[in-house]
C-alpha cells in the first residue's frame, strides 16, 4: 500500500506544480491537500511532502544558480583587471 500512496502522491504533486506554474496560484497545493484530507489522511500527508520537496528543490536550485552566476561574474571581473 505504501508504494501505491507514494506513487499517487508523487504524480499528483507533479501535476499540481504544473498547474500552479500555469495559473500562478502558488497556494493551489494547499487546496488540493484539503480536498485529499477528507478522503485519505495518508495520501494527503504523502502529497504535501512531495509538493514541499519539489518547491524546496526550486528554491535550492535558484540559490545555486545565483551563486554560480555571481562567482562567474566575479571571476570575469578579476580577469579583466
Burial tier of 29 (Cβ tally within 10 Å: 0-12, 13-18, 19+): buried
Mean predicted confidence (pLDDT) in 15-20: 98
What pLDDT, on a 0 to 100 scale, did the predictor assign at position 77?
87
Say how far residue 7 (Cα) sits from the centre of its chain.
Answer: 16
Mean predicted confidence (pLDDT) in 6-21: 98
Helices first, then strands: H and E counts in the chain = 3, 0
Residue 2, pLDDT above cutoff 80: no
Amino acid at each position: 500500500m505504501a508504494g501505491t500512496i507514494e506513487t499517487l502522491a508523487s504524480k499528483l504533486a507533479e501535476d499540481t506544480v504544473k498547474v500552479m506554474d500555469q495559473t500562478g496560484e502558488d497556494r493551489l497545493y494547499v487546496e488540493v491537500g484539503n480536498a485529499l484530507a477528507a478522503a485519505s489522511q495518508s495520501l494527503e500527508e504523502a502529497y504535501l511532502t512531495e509538493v514541499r520537496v519539489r518547491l524546496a528543490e526550486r528554491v535550492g536550485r535558484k540559490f545555486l544558480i545565483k551563486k554560480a552566476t555571481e562567482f562567474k561574474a566575479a571571476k570575469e571581473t578579476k580577469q579583466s583587471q
